[in-house]
Amino acid sequence: MNQLLSIVLISGLAVFVFQSMGGFTDKARFTEVMQVADGMKKAVTICGQINSGFNNCDDLKMGGAAAGNVSDIQDIDVTDGVITIVFMHDENRLTYVLTPALSDGIVRWTAGGTCSAGLCDATPGDL
């Protein structure tokens, strides 16, 4: 009887641990998406500061080469400085969108897109 109780308890704990680890895996995979976005943010920031705006900051490929290592990323687009990364998560096609705003030489970024809450809740910050 004690062995049966032990097996039930261990099984219950294992289920709990595996379910909670799924969130860590999701965050780790999205961290890779954010690292690719970070390389693009730097390129757009420099472009925006040099040009006093983002009109000429389309299709920047700097940092995009890193996407080859992230199998979940399907597309990266930069239009008027807005970075859009399309990636797969749990068989869902999601977007991570970073929109720049230039004020007094400082670029501030706003995150958006269809990325689910809890997965994409990191703050992009200023450059």
Tens-place pLDDT, residues 27-49? 677 777 888 888 889 889 999 99
Q: What is the pLDDT of residues 65-93, one digit of tens each?
A: 445 556 678 888 889 999 998 888 777 78
pTM comes to: 0.69
Q: Position of tokens 């890779």?
A: 32
Name the more confident of 8 and 44. 44
In the chain, the percentage of residues whose pLDDT exceeds 90 is: 17
How far apart CA 69 and CA 41 sit, in angstroms, is 18
Phi-psi region of 18 (alpha: psi -120 to 50; beta: other; left: phi over 0): alpha
Q: Which domains does the chain have, with CATH numbers?
A: 24-112 (3.30.700.10)
**Which residue carries 């930069």 as its tokens?**
78
